[in-house]
């Protein structure tokens, strides 16, 4: 059985995986939002990193 700190590390590692999936792996075959498109849209000011974080935060809190 994992300790509280080990569980915490697993959760934070999972968040890192989510970001990798969101920005790269899930984009590889996405025709509407391909690899590097999110970064491009942030750079162009279409959406901000804070807006993405806010949405993630709201969705996470909604599910608790």
* The pLDDT of residue 2: 93
**Alpha carbon 46 to chain centroid, angstroms:** 17
Query: Which residues are within 8 A (CB) of 48 and not within 5 positions of it... i.e. 6 or more apart?
Result: 42
Query: How many domains is the chain built from?
Result: 1
Digit-coded pLDDT (tens) for 7-38: 999 999 999 999 999 999 999 999 999 999 99
Q: Are 49 and 42 in contact (CB under 8 A)?
A: yes
* The pLDDT of residue 18: 97
Give pTM, 2 decimals: 0.86
**Domain range for residue 50?**
4-62
Digit-coded pLDDT (tens) for 31-63: 999 999 999 999 999 999 999 999 999 999 999
């Amino acid at each position: 059985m994992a300790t509280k700190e080990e569980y915490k590390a697993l959760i934070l590692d999972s968040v890192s995986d989510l970001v990798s999936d969101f920005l790269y792996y899930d984009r590889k075959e996405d025709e509407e939002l391909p690899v590097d498109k999110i970064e491009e849209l942030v750079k162009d000011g279409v959406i901000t990193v804070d807006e993405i974080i806010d949405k993630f935060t709201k969705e996470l809190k909604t599910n608790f």
